[in-house]
Amino acid sequence: MDGISTTLLNFKNRNVWVIIFVDSILIIFAYFLSYYLRFDGNIPPAGLSNFLSSVLWIVPVKLLIFVLFNLYRGMWRYTAISAMKNLLKACLTSSSLIIIMILFSFRFVGFTRSVFIIDFLLTFILISGHRIGIRLYYNRQNDHKTWFSSFNKQSNTNLKRLLIIGAGDAGEKTLRELMGNLGLAYQVVGFIDDDPNKKGRQIHGVRVLDGLDSLSDLVKKYEVEEVLISVPSATGAQIRRIVKACEKCNVRFKTLPGLGELINGKISVKALRDVDFQDLLRRPAVKLDVGIIQKYLEGKRILVTGAGGSIGSELCRQIVRFFPEKLILIDASETNLYNIQMDLKHQVGYLEYATILGRVQDRELINQVFLKYKPNVVLHAAAYKHVPMLERNPWEAVYNNIRGTHTVMEQSIRHKAEYFVFVSTDKAVRPTNVMGASKRVCELVVQSFTGNGTRTMAVRFGNVTGSSGSVIPLFRKQIVRGGPVTVTHPEITRYFMTIQEASQLILQAGALGEGGEIFILEMGTPVKIVDMARDLIRLSGKDPDRDIEITYTGLRPGEKLHEELISEGEGIVGTSHNKILVLRTSRQYNGMEDQATFRKWLMQNIEELYKFAYAHDTCGIKAKLKDIVPEYEVQDSECVL
């Protein structure tokens, strides 16, 4: 009766009626074809009469048996061997019942026994073919190697009882791998999904039990030991809701990475991990225009500066997907450069790379690199970006950020590179610190060199979770120590995106640039830092303000309460990519008549800035930055003009 009641609930779903209708047609066709084959294509009048009189009740009898065998509770795009076994039983039962009914009602007078044997075979072949056809249609690009996996794990009593949240493609693939891999100690007891049309239906024999609101009851009823969040397309708000429900049930939970991380399109239980803050931040997956990216990266020699850093290393991992001729890696950190080299060699399996240990402001070294490797594309990610550190050591912002960008840009144009992409920051907008001001000067350098044969552009975005300058690693260390977690101000907010998303959008922006643009990545809604701290504390199994204290330390030198992506007088317009905007500014040449005049003025001021940096003159550096970037607000009271 449970199968009938569940199927009645599913009648609200239009697809169920479509399947029943198609099954009815196939049953009629199979029955008629049985007569046709039995009589070699020449059905006698008596046989045709028997067919017409019996088909009217044979069809509903078979459909009723199919309902009793739960054939309409499944999700047909995930048809597997277990469903085929169930269909075989249903066909055998229905044919046996029909034979018994004819035997007792008509004693087979006028009926041919072989017709019903043929009918049984044809019904199974046609109905199963229909189900498999649906599966192949929805999964024609997927790997079917685990479709006929063994289900012998069910006899193991030491398996961890698991609930999967998400009865979609990711959930189905995860279930298939869990069921087929005997080395994974999990027994899936059911699915949870908020789609009411999925309730009571089955995927590979495992039921969709209910929605998320019933999680607590289901955990108790089925003695669930762990929950797997298998919704890689979920937003940050949806993940937060799921995590809150899991914490309320006091059950362990893991997740699959977001779609931004699953860039190869494959979902594997090897990717299972604990829920991370980046999951709570999840934004809609970035859809790359692979065609135009491949066009400017495939078969090219690509130079990445700062290749061992958080952004640079991820850029390298993304770039190799587009089959470059060679990847040239420059970094000043021996450890970071070695790490990305090992990642490319052993994890990615890419060997066409060259590693250069050195500083980007070393003009002779950069010249030699361009002479030897002749890069077509330059992605300049090398930078110091820790705000308080550079506020105390501003000469390093000049050496590394400004002189480094100036040097690499100059050599890119001199050696006729096709593209130069500079990685900027939202802190370049109305800067209140040396780091932001140095990045704004770099943007001006990029614009001043436009029109020299190299497509030069900058990409501006906010904080990147997990990067070397991110606050998240600090919060985690403080939580491990038992607190307190230090936040500078209760109202401070920042824009955040993941390393994967930032890197993908940098590559996309590079493909869009014609020269001179400042691209802005769509950053969504700014996040309160204190809310981030509370989320991280909860993910660590603690209660904020009770188990882990949050304290406020005050804004640091040069730190803003809220960051911006554009300045006054700047405007943004859309591009062909919905996550990338381009800056349209009325002060591209700082109000000067032409680019040549602007470049001459800029280079003269930068040379003076270098002199202050060599002398380690903090106030001189900040005064000259103010000359170049008038909107820069100097925070150091000793150096305020």
3-state secondary structure of 207: strand
DSSP string of 218-265?
HHHHTT--EEEE--TT--HHHHHHHHHHHHHHT-EEEEPPPTTT-TTS
Determine the Cα–Cα distance for residues 477 and 404; give it in Å rounded to an integer: 32
28 closest CA partner among 107, 130, 126: 126
The yes-or-no answer on residue 427 being catalytic is: yes
Q: Please report, for residues 74, 422, 442, 485, the alpha-carbon distance to residue 363 in angstroms, rounded to integers and kept in the order given.
A: 66, 18, 17, 43
Instruction: Fill in the amino acid letter for 50.
Output: N
Compute the half-sphere exposure of residue 49: CA atoms within 13 Å on the CB side of its CA: 5
Determine the Cα–Cα distance for residues 609 and 605; give it in Å rounded to an integer: 6
CB 238 within 8 A of CB 280: no
Beta carbons within 8 Å of 183's beta carbon, 6+ residues apart: none
Q: Please report, for residues 39, 40, 219, 226, 345, the alpha-carbon distance to residue 44 in angstroms, rounded to integers and kept in the order given.
A: 8, 11, 62, 63, 74
Beta carbons within 8 Å of 257's beta carbon, 6+ residues apart: 232, 271, 273
Determine the Cα–Cα distance for residues 238 and 279; give it in Å rounded to an integer: 10
CB 510 within 8 A of CB 536: no
Beta carbons within 8 Å of 174's beta carbon, 6+ residues apart: 164, 228, 230, 256, 267, 269
Determine the Cα–Cα distance for residues 583 and 569; give it in Å rounded to an integer: 10
Strand segments (E) across 440-500: 455-460, 463-465, 485-487, 493-494, 496-498
Question: Which of these is catalytic: 153, 199, 427, 624?
Answer: 427
Q: 10 Å Cβ neighbour count for 81?
A: 14
The H or E element containing residue 170 is helix 169-180
In eight-state DSSP terms, residue 385 is: -
Q: How far does Cα 432 stand from its chain's mean position? A: 33
Determine the Cα–Cα distance for residues 300 and 636; give it in Å rounded to an integer: 46
Determine the Cα–Cα distance for residues 595 and 515; give it in Å rounded to an integer: 13
Residues in the chain: 641
In eight-state DSSP terms, residue 584 is: E
In eight-state DSSP terms, residue 275 is: -
Hunting for tokens 């820790």 — which residue is that?
386
**Bridge-based pairing state of the strands 455-460 and 493-494:** unpaired
CB 318 within 8 A of CB 261: no
What are 365's two structure tokens? 């070294």
The H or E element containing residue 458 is strand 455-460
Hunting for tokens 């109000």 — which residue is that?
591
17-23, Cβ contacts within 8 angstroms, sequence gap of 24 or more: 19/72, 19/76, 20/63, 20/72, 22/130, 23/63, 23/66, 23/127, 23/130
Backbone angles phi, psi at 226, to 5 degrees: -155, 150
What residues are annotated to the active site?
A: 427
